[in-house]
């Protein structure tokens, strides 16, 4: 009973404090005085002049822009610099062979025969996917595909799960060229 009264008093106290903070009185209204000062003599003064618009001058300005002919075209220094920068970017991008992507892991186990069977299944059923068999003692892992996007891997995953229900999609480093080839074949099958 005492606890209930204490909780009720606490809630009442919090309510009173909360409601007093929501009052509409301002600081100036509380003191009863208002601030007044004339600042008109300090303000800058501007004079406005109406612009004169002449129709003849506006018509003269609308001449068509003359495009240079083929004789006037000269290679600019900017173009040479731009070509040099683009060439360096091309060579740097060409050196990148791997990207973060996805592969489908369809077999994990200790039996080499089953790993080879999974590899053969991928070769037969999905010739556009490349199977990868890795061995880390005592476990064989069979992964397939070089997918740049998870959505591409999910399309193949549904078909692979019919034979290997424990197959999953894993993040892995994939070759860009092979990933683009798989993406192109997936696009062709959609159409």
- pLDDT in tens for each of the 191 residues of the chain? 888 888 888 888 887 777 777 656 555 555 567 888 888 888 888 888 887 776 655 555 565 555 555 555 555 566 778 888 888 888 887 777 888 889 999 999 999 999 999 999 988 988 888 899 988 888 999 999 888 888 888 888 888 888 888 899 999 888 877 777 675 555 555 55
pLDDT at site 94: 79
Contact 143, 106 (CB under 8 A): yes
pLDDT at site 183: 58
Contact 99, 179 (CB under 8 A): yes
Closest CA to 165 of 103, 113, 108, 84: 108
152 φ, ψ (degrees, to nearest 5): -65, -40
CATH number of the 98-190 domain: 3.30.70.1070
Answer positive or negative: Cα dihedral of 176, 178, 184, 186.
negative
| R_g of the chain, CA atoms, integer Å | 38
pLDDT at site 108: 92
Q: Measure the CA–CA gap between 188 and 191, rounded to whole angstroms.
A: 5
């Amino acid at each position: 009973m005492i606890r209930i009264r204490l909780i009720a008093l606490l809630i009442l106290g919090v309510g009173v404090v909360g409601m007093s903070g929501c009052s509409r009185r301002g600081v100036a209204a509380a003191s009863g005085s208002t601030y007044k000062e004339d600042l008109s003599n300090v303000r800058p003064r501007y004079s406005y002049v109406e612009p004169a618009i002449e129709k003849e001058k506006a018509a003269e300005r609308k001449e068509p822009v003359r495009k240079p002919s083929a004789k006037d075209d000269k290679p600019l220094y900017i173009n040479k610099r731009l070509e040099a920068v683009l060439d360096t970017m091309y060579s740097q991008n060409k050196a990148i062979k791997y990207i973060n992507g996805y592969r489908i892991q369809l077999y994990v186990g200790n039996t080499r025969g089953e790993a080879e069977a999974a590899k053969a299944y991928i070769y037969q059923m999905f010739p556009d996917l490349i199977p990868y068999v890795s061995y880390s003692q005592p476990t064989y892992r069979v992964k397939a595909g070089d997918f740049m996007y998870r959505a591409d891997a999910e399309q193949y995953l549904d078909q692979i799960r019919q034979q290997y229900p424990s197959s999953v999609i894993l993040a892995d480093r994939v070759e860009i060229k092979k990933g683009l080839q798989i993406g192109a074949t997936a696009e062709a099958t959609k159409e």
